[in-house]
Amino acid sequence: MGVGPSSENQGQTSSPEELSYILAERFATKCFTHLELTHFKDNFFTRAIDQGGMKYWNEKILSDFLGIPDSSDADCPLDAGPVIFRMVSYLGAFPFQNTLAPSVLTFEAMVKVVVLLTERYGKVLRRARKDRIRLLFGSLADVGRRDIDKPTADENLDENPDDNKNDDPFVKTYASGFSIDAPANDSYEEEDDDDLALAALESLDAIEVFRHDSRIDKAVYEARISVATFRRLLMLLLVISPLKSLQPVRMYTSDLSESRMESVRKEADNILSAFAQEESGGIGYKTFATTIAHCFPYLFDPLTPLFEHLLFSKNLNLSQKRASDDPTTTEPLEETPESPLPPPESVMLPGSFKSVIINPSIISHLSFFLPSTVSNANFFHDNMRLHPVFSTAEHGSSLTSFSHNVLTWQSGTLLLLEGVVTESPEQENTVLLGAYLPQPWKSSSSHPSKSSDSPALPCLFQLSHKHLILPGNPSPSVQKPNMPTAYFSSTAGIAIGCQIPPSSRTQPHPPSPHGAGSLTIDASLETATFYVSPVGHNGVFLPPATLSPAETTTTAKTHIDIYNLEIWGLVPDPAAASSEQGQSAVELQQAKWEFEAREAERRRNLNLKAGAGDSAAESARWLLETAGLIGDGTGRQGGSV
């Protein structure tokens, strides 16, 4: 594969360096196709620095190839290059991070990096996704002895294994801060700590070697991720979250205006608010693992298409024979001037209005935790798009208009509410709430619909000024007619996650909050109330997993004056045909809206003038008002999902 001992001598190997090489060789043969490995070799060796026969990459080569901005890019306010290099140097030493990290980025090290970051380890490792979080934590964490001062984030980031001057690549200039084990203040099971590495080495007959390495200084070192380091990574992930395989990264990093960067910083801070910091500063492993698992399961997904760039070489023309099949003898790559790139495709489809709430940074934030409606993947998977359905800025605060637009939408929806908290007018109190509803809204008079084919569960969430998510309850016991996920009535307004009381002609009761969380919006669409409870597993939504100790004792009730309310339809793939005529789902929806509009217009033109048929006219008017087609629709019972 590269340089190093042969796997034929596997039985005689015992050192971490030899075992690390054998593992990289196994990764390369099991996790890449022959074509991918050929492209990988071409990309690596055409750019590698050759020092004493050892070929390796430094930070500048890595950043330039991936298109990641760093401090040398004066035109780009992002500076994520050192953070990515730090992560890669740690992961390249897998599974001997304590002994070998930071790793020199040889070809073997880069093989392990790409396998781990693109999640191709399924063919080699077991239980790997869970333990990938531990590896990512280790690649970002600062570690220092308890009895000495810990270096700052900037000092750690400036210390690189290679200073880009072709010095000895084996000199480790990092402080011992790359050693990462179970922090003394984190209570996770030691037996599970090393599952990923043990699975990697089981077949190499090297478990004892690894156990010796992994227990070094476990009681002496303490790990945490500095907020400054994590913020820089979050800002990069927010910018490149829509990235698809083989798309140039500069499509998303080349035009970062000040307003765009301001929104990126704001969303990064909103995401950071979900990670509780320790008293001494930084983010511990337990907090990191819990928050990623429950609040941001897709946070690191953009790293997959980013590092898949290594598996495709622009320099490799398979239609021509190379002078040699050995990639180490390839001529240096000739860089060509970069051509202008088209702007990224918007996730929002054209429609009757433009959003006054959503921007690209908020879309990226949503993609870190919202699943696709057709698979257990992130929001951008399956070419998912948002179609405008209803907006108070465009359609006004009319529940009749709401019902016409929302109840006729035939797939899942995303509700977004922007407003101001009424309890603290003297503070920065703008809040952004939302509800992810994979099933379409239904009229209350409709027969109960079958369970949705979508694997996604609904969720209620807050994006700013603090990130909070209340996941949907998967228990079948909460799927009751009087406990719909979302409900609307012309008299009570909109209720999400509430219990609906029995209908009464004499004394109607409003929906009541139930379970761990709910959102109610009044009939005028002017005010809302957001309930969050630390207990309650018998409702539509479960309690948040990241509440602070102070928030675990009482139910929080937040009153909001609504500025804007928007409903967006979830479209898995706008180009997918959904009928025998080949019409797309959006075209069918548009045709349905147009039909409803024509029918409403026709009914408005009915002869309802007073005269000999006063009683018949009044009866006709009452029927139309009850149906919500004319008037204020006060007789309408509502709808639910």
Which portions of the chain are predicted below pLDDT 50? 3-13, 144-194, 203, 205-210, 212-221, 319-325, 327-337, 445-451, 577-582, 608-612, 632-636
Task: Give the residue carrying structure tokens 């007018």.
Answer: 425
598 and 570 in one domain?
A: no
Position 635 scores a pLDDT of: 41
Contact 348, 380 (CB under 8 A): no
511 and 396 in one domain?
A: yes
H helices within 67-106, ranges in order? 81-91, 97-100
For residue 69, is the peptide bond before it cis, meaning its omega torsion is within 30 degrees of 0?
no
Position 151 scores a pLDDT of: 38
What CA–CA distance (Å, rounded) separates 109 from 20? 8
125 and 236 in one domain?
A: yes
**Three-class SS of 569-604:** EEECCCCCECCCCCCEHHHHHHHHHHHHHHHHHHHH
What CA–CA distance (Å, rounded) separates 228 from 241? 20
Structural domain contains residue 164: no
565-593 pLDDT, tens digit each:
999 999 877 665 444 344 566 776 777 76
141 and 256 in one domain?
A: yes
566 and 612 in one domain?
A: no
H helices within 215-344, ranges in order? 227-240, 250-253, 258-272, 285-295, 303-307
What CA–CA distance (Å, rounded) separates 284 from 478? 35
Radius of gyration of the chain (CA): 28
How many CB atoms are located within 10 Å of the residue 627 CB? 16
CA diameter of the chain = 106
271 and 417 in one domain?
A: no
Structural domain contains residue 41: yes
Structural domain contains residue 637: no
Structural domain contains residue 376: yes
Position 69 scores a pLDDT of: 82
Provide the 8-state DSSP code for 509: -
Type and span of the H or E element at 488? strand 486-489
Structural domain contains residue 621: yes
How many CB atoms are located within 10 Å of the residue 11 CB? 8
Contact 378, 552 (CB under 8 A): no
Structural domain contains residue 5: no
What spatial distance separates the first Cα and last Cα of the chain, rounded to whole Å? Answer: 56
Provide the 8-state DSSP code for 213: H
Sign of the C-alpha dihedral, residues 465, 466, 472, 473?
negative
Count of structural domains within the chain: 3
Structural domain contains residue 154: no
615 and 551 in one domain?
A: no
Position 614 scores a pLDDT of: 59
Structure tokens at 255: 């035009």
Q: Give the CB-side neighbour count of residue 388, counting CA atoms within 13 A.
A: 19
93 and 74 in one domain?
A: yes
Structural domain contains residue 544: yes
256 and 111 in one domain?
A: yes
Position 605 scores a pLDDT of: 67
Position 616 scores a pLDDT of: 59
Contact 549, 487 (CB under 8 A): no
How many CB atoms are located within 10 Å of the residue 580 CB? 6
Closest to 636 (Cα-Cα) out of 460, 436, 400, 476: 400
Structural domain boundaries, residue 204: 16-145+193-309
Structure tokens at 2: 């590269």
559 and 420 in one domain?
A: yes
Position 130 scores a pLDDT of: 61
- Write the CB contacts of 192 (distance below 8 Å, at least 6 apart in sequence): 131
How many CB atoms are located within 10 Å of the residue 377 CB? 15
Torsion-angle region of 98 (φ positive above 0: left; ψ -120 to 50: alpha; else: beta): alpha
Position 392 scores a pLDDT of: 95
Task: Give the residue carrying structure tokens 């309310």.
Answer: 565
Closest to 186 (Cα-Cα) out of 123, 138, 148: 138
Closest to 182 (Cα-Cα) out of 218, 130, 207, 216: 218
Position 502 scores a pLDDT of: 84
512 and 486 in one domain?
A: yes
Amino acid, res. 73: D
Encode 459-468: b = buried (16+ Cβ within 10 Å), e = exposed. Answer: bbbbbbbebb
- Burial, 428: exposed, middle or buried (Cβ in 10 Å; 0-12, 13-18, 19+)? exposed
Contact 571, 384 (CB under 8 A): yes
The strand ranges marked E within 140-295 are 142-145, 221-224
Position 541 scores a pLDDT of: 94
How many CB atoms are located within 10 Å of the residue 333 CB? 15
411 and 288 in one domain?
A: no
63-103 pLDDT, tens digit each:
999 998 876 665 667 889 999 999 999 999 887 877 777 89
Distances (CA, A) of 532 to 73, 277, 419, 492, 541: 44, 22, 17, 20, 10
Phi, psi for 101 (deg, rounded to 5)? -80, 145
Long-range contacts from 474-480, C-beta under 8 angstroms, 24+ separation? 475/537, 477/538, 478/515, 478/538, 478/539, 478/540, 479/451
Long-range contacts from 499-503, C-beta under 8 angstroms, 24+ separation? 499/539, 500/640, 503/637
